[in-house]
Chains A and B, each alone.
Chain A
Amino acid sequence: MNTPLDDELRKALRPVDPDEGFAERVMRRIDSTPAPLQRRPRWFPALPVALAASALLGTILIYAWHAEREQQRQGLEARRQLIEALHITGEKLDLAYRGVNGETRPPAPDDTGA
C-alpha cells in the first residue's frame, strides 16, 4: 500500500529529459574519442623482454660452461706439470742420496773395458 510519502517521492523523482540535442552530443563525443587500440594478448608486451632475457641467459650459460672447461683444462695441465716436477725432484734427490752414501753409479754398459 502506498503512503503519501511514497506518492510524493514518485512525484519528486519523476524522470526528466536532458537538454535538447543530447543524443547528438553523445555521438559527437563518441566520434571525438579515439577508438581503443587493438587489444593485444596480455603477455604480448613481455614477449620481447622474455626473448632478450632468454638470449642473455643462454650467453651467460655458454660463457660459464666455457670458462669451467678452460679452468678444468688449466687444472689438469697444472697437475701434469706438478707430477712431472715431483718426478724430476724425486730423481734428483735419489741421485744426491746415493752420492752422499758413497754409492757408485752402476757402470754404464760402455764403461766395462776401461
Chain B
Amino acid sequence: MKGDEPRGAADSLDRARSGDRVAFATLVRSHQRVVYSLALRMLSHRHEAEDLAQEVFMQLHRSLAGIQSDTHLLFWLRKVTTNLAIDRLRRDRKRATLPLDDDPGIADEPLESDPLLQRRLRELLALLPADPRAVVVLRYQEDLDPTEIAETLEMSLNTVKSHLRRSIATLREGLADSSVTPLSRDSL
C-alpha cells in the first residue's frame, strides 16, 4: 500500500489540478479503496464511512493546488481521513460497538481465514480509543511503519510505539477472553 508513482497517476493529478473533471474522477477511483477502508475501520459503519470518504475527496478537490505528487497525495489522503475520523469519533463517543449486520466484508473473507476471528478482531478494534485505533489501522491496513504513522498522525514516535504496544496487548486479551479464537493463548 505504500505510494509508488506510476506515470498515469501523476498525469491524472496534473490534469485534475488544471480542472479536468474526468482526471479528478480517475484520482478518486484509484484512491477510493484506501480512503474508504480507513474510514470504515475507524468508524465501523458503512454509511458513515462512505460519507466521510466523500468528504475527504471534496476537501481534496478544494486542495488540489497544494498536492505536489502522487506520493504526497496518498500521504495527504491518509492524514485527512484519519484526522476527520478521529474528530468524528471524539464528537460521538457513543459509537463503540460494531452493528452485527454492518460488519463489512464478512461475506467475502478469504478462505484461509476464520470469519469469526476476523470479526472479533474488528469488534475489539472498535472498542479502542480514537488515537490508538488510528495507529493500529495505519499499521495493519496500510502497512505503514511507526515512523510513517507518526508523520501521518503528527504524533511522536514514542507515542505511536506505545499505542501499538498497548493496543496489541488489549486485542490479545480480548481474544483470549472470547471463545471465538482458534489460536491458542500462547500463539497469540
Contact = CB atoms under 8 A, between A and B. Distances in A.
Interface of A: 3-6, 8-19, 22-27, 29-30, 33, 36
A33 B57 CA distance: 13
B137 A13 contact: yes
A27 to B, nearest CB: 6
B40 A29 contact: no
A103 B34 CA distance: 124
Q: Which 3 A-B pairs have the closest CB atoms?
A: A15-B37, A12-B121, A18-B36
B17 interface: no
A8 B168 CA distance: 12
B140 A6 contact: yes
A38 B185 CA distance: 60
Which bracket fits the contact residues of B? 35 or more
Q: Is the interface of A mostly helix, strand, loop or mixed?
A: helix
Contact of A26 (B57, B109, B122): B57
B188 interface: yes
A10 B32 contact: no
A104 to B, nearest CB: 109
A11 B36 contact: no
Given A11-B118, A12-B118, A27 B25 contact: yes
Contacts of A26: 25, 28, 32, 54, 57-58
Contacts of B110: 11, 14
A17 B49 CA distance: 11
A3 B25 CA distance: 39
B136 A9 contact: yes
Given A9-B171, A12-B121, A13-B41, 10 more contacts: A5-B175, A5-B188, A11-B109, A13-B140, A18-B33, A19-B46, A22-B32, A27-B25, A33-B58, A36-B62
B141 interface: yes
A9 B140 contact: yes
